[in-house]
Amino acid sequence: MNDKANKAVPVKTARTRKTNVFTSVVWIVPLIALAAGGWLAVKHIRNTGPKITLLMDSAEGIEVNNTVIKVLSVDVGRVTKIKLREDRKGVEVTAQLNADAKEMMRSDTQFWVVKPRIDQSGVTGLGTLLSGSYIAFTPGTGDAVKDVFEVQDIPPIAAIGQSGVRLKLVGKNDKILGVGSPVLYENFMVGQIESARFEPSDQTVHYTIFIQSPNDKLIRSDSRFWLDSGLSVETSGSGIQLNSPPLPALLSGAISFDSNPKADSRQVENEAQFTLYGSRSEVVNLPDERSLYYTAFFKQSVRGLAVGAPVEYKGINVGVVSDVPYFERNASLKLFSDGMVPVRIRIEPSRLEINAETQSKAHWEQQFQTALNRGLSAVIASNNLLTGSKMIELTDHAGASPKLKPYGVYGGHTVIATQNGGLDDLQAQMGDLLAKFNKLPLEKTVAGLNGSLAELKNTLKSAEQTLRSVNTLVSRPQTQNIPNELNQTLKELRQTLQGVSPQSPVYRDVQNTLNSLDKTLQDVQPLVNTLKEKPNALIFNSRIQDPIPKGSR
């Protein structure tokens, strides 16, 4: 038993087996999560566009993670950060864009804030009253990539994909129009103002305008631009003319332009520069290479005669007043000694070529000098009685007043003789008439008139006495009984005439007597006719012929 008990029992040795970590099921979930996270990261990177910096004057209406970036009303980004700029002149807004907006960030990309706005174009941005303001942009087409942009407060004039021409205008004007104001051609809106600024150094106003296609074909190399400042009232000799532009121009003003159809002009390139004039009248009165200048001297007042006033000949506008007054160097110092005011006028030959061919400047200089040699002179006439404006009229008529021509040439221009005319001449004549009237012996005349009135007064007293006598006579009973006596007399006369009726003997005797008298007159009638023809018929025999004289033998 002991031997069996002492018999060694074989011991089994434990063996360990190594397991591959990567084949464990436990790691499947982390790997899947890692792969999903990587895929999401790659997708996020692919869907995430660039970060851009937007520079704004203020962050009004802009909120982090709420304000979106849109193009064509599609969300392509969101504001992620807002901070002040280092120069303290605005704010710096950081926005994260989507990947599909990456290729749109170019050097010419334009950003602006969309919010409720009322301007000359109407009411816009009402949808942002509930959703809040957002930032919109127009994709750029430039070659250079950009990530810092200036954000404008108003939308750009040129919309996405819109073609046209952009022009620069420079002028010295007394007012400046706002961005978005219309550009007009014959009262048709063809474009808008993109930018406007005042340059203090030379006191000029600089505009950038955009003309949409196909209206850009209206711009020619000879196009002329001017300010059309809303409602305008023009006064002339023909009356008062009221010009009203379209409603947008009436609210904010506008820039208008035209082109000369007769000129050999061409279309202009983008960014071309033009001069901007103050008004249409200034453009109409622009001189050309054929303009003729003359000087006229006036001793009468030039009040109401302004630059641009018309110069007319027989009712035809042939020029304008160029300068009032027009003094040479230091010539105005003699104003009180000679009392003459020089005025420079400009004659436009183009206004004389009515349905005629264009002539040279030398031709019109000769024609005008011939007219001056014949006695052509200038007078100041009234242009509008209501406003008191004046004009210059060229006339061939020789007035009563002497002509004034102190120089042959003044200021480098031929001098035109002048004479008084218009209302001033009428006032002078009225003054002379009043002076003559004052010289009349009015006191003696009034004294004589007083004497005549006294005599008339005495006559009236006599007439009054006569009337009293007549009234006394009429009031007597004998006078009042006269009508009864006249009636009695007429009654008796009527009875007498009844006795002379056609059946009475008296009537028959009178009738026989008248018949006899009529017969006698008929018998005497031939004798009367003979005496009318030959009064000596009773003395000489009419049957004896007159002797015929005989000639000498």
pLDDT for residue 5 is more than 60: no
Closest CA to 390 of 478, 484, 278, 308: 308
Closest by Cα among 110, 100, 85, 94 to 62: 94
For residues 368 and 362, give the distance between their C-alpha atoms in angstroms, rounded to a whole number.
Answer: 10
pLDDT of 213-229, one tens digit each? 888 888 888 889 988 87
pTM of the model: 0.54
Res 394: pLDDT = 92
pLDDT band for position 1 (50/70/90)?
very low
Residues 6+ apart with CB under 8 A from 186: 258
pLDDT of 143 reads: 80
Tokens of 138: 């127009």
Q: With pLDDT > 70 as the criterion, what percentage of the chain qualifies?
A: 71
Q: What does the pLDDT look like over 227-259, one tens digit per residue?
A: 887 655 555 555 566 566 665 666 667 888 987
Residue 347: its H or E element = strand 341-347
Structure confidence by residue, pLDDT tens digits, 289-334: 889 999 999 988 888 888 888 999 998 999 999 999 999 999 999 8
Task: Examine the pLDDT at 548 and tell me if it is beyond 80.
Answer: no
Percent of the chain whose pLDDT exceeds 90: 17
Residue 271's pLDDT band, with cuts at 50, 70 and 90, is confident
Res. 199: pLDDT tops 60: yes
Residue 538: its pLDDT value, please? 53
Q: Which residues contact 174 (CB under 8 A, 6 or more apart)?
A: 278
pLDDT at 159 over 80: no
For 361-376, write each residue's pLDDT tens digit: 999 999 999 999 998 9
Q: What is the overall mean pLDDT for the chain?
A: 78
Task: Choose the weakest-confidence range: 25-34, 296-305, 474-483, 528-537.
Answer: 528-537
pLDDT given for residue 413 in this prediction: 93
Give residue 541's pLDDT.
Answer: 54
User: Per-residue pLDDT averaged across 94-101, rounded?
Assistant: 87
Cβ partners under 8 Å of residue 305, min gap 6? 321, 324, 343, 380, 389, 390, 391, 392
Q: Identify which of 166, 82, 153 has the alpha carbon closest to the alpha carbon of residue 114.
A: 153
Please state, in angstroms and rounded to a whole number, the distance separating the CA atoms of residues 395 and 312.
Answer: 9
Residue 551 has pLDDT above 60, yes or no: no
Q: Which of 142-146, 187-191, 317-321, 421-425 has the lowest mean pLDDT?
A: 421-425
Give the C-alpha separation, 86 to 92, whole Å.
Answer: 9
| pLDDT tens by residue, 473-482 | 667 776 667 6
Per-residue pLDDT, 553: 47
In this prediction, residue 410 has a pLDDT band, given cuts at 50, 70 and 90, of very high
Instruction: Indicate the range of 4-13, 198-207, 522-531 predicted with least confidence.
Output: 4-13
